[in-house]
Chains A and B, each alone.
Chain A
Amino acid sequence: AQTVTQSQPEMSVQEAETVTLSCTYDTSESNYYLFWYKQPPSRQMILVIRQEAYKQQNATENRFSVNFQKAAKSFSLKISDSQLGDTAMYFCAFMKHDSGNTPLVFGKGTRLSVIA
């Protein structure tokens, strides 16, 4: 079974600063995907960024980037130039690669507050 651990229940950052959210995972799978989801107060789940395990290059989406360390089973999210709208819960998630679609396994989340 896969597990995902987010060790920071809460974090805060000043507007325009950079913040890094940590995530580690445990799996015996060799082929999988990793995700960061954002959940604002509206509770809508929004995909922020995705990383395929077979890709060595770290994924980047505008102000969001990841540091994927496969050997260490680490997958951190860096948010640059933080904005007030980034205030939300952030969930790290794992998905096994299979011939069909498979479920997400989530960490417990990190609550991020961006302070003006």
Chain B
Amino acid sequence: DAGVIQSPRHEVTEMGQEVTLRCKPISGHNSLFWYRQTMMRGLELLIYFNNNVPIDDSGMPEDRFSAKMPNASFSTLKIQPSEPRDSAVYFCASSSGAGALYNEQFFGPGTRLTVL
């Protein structure tokens, strides 16, 4: 299996621009998580989905952030408009609810976002 795939790996943009981060979970996994990592706040949950349905988006900083999961194999995290304080590494993770792999989350390589 290719693991969790995220794109792009690096993104540099200017303040005010729209940014879209993409994630392809491991095939067969039914939960998907978006985390953000910064020096100041560490790793924190933004939003997660079970069976493509958003369950908890309380970690989404503000209305500038939105996330979708139109099907079981794709999710996006969009920031519009972007601000310098959004600069961080964004991780996507997926997990299965079945068998011995229950509750282990597999992380993608992350997207490093820099907003100038």
User: Which residues of A are at the interface with B, using a C-beta cutoff of 8 A?
Assistant: 33, 42-45, 47, 50, 91, 95, 97, 100-101, 103-109
B31 within 8 A of A: yes
Residues of B within 8 A of A104 (CB): 33, 35, 43, 45, 93, 105
**In the complex, A44 Cα to B105 Cα: how many Å?**
13
Q: A101-B95, A101-B96, A106-B44 are known; give 7 further A-B pairs, CB within 8 A.
A: A43-B110, A100-B97, A104-B35, A104-B43, A104-B105, A105-B45, A106-B43
CB proximity to A under 8 Å, residues B18-57: 30-31, 33, 35, 42-45, 48, 50, 55-56
Query: Provided the pairs A101-B50, A103-B45, A106-B43 are in contact, do residues A95 and B103 lie with their beta carbons within 8 angstroms?
Result: yes
User: Which residues of B are at the interface with A, using a C-beta cutoff of 8 A?
Assistant: 30-31, 33, 35, 42-45, 48, 50, 55-56, 89, 91, 93, 95-97, 102-105, 107, 109-110, 112
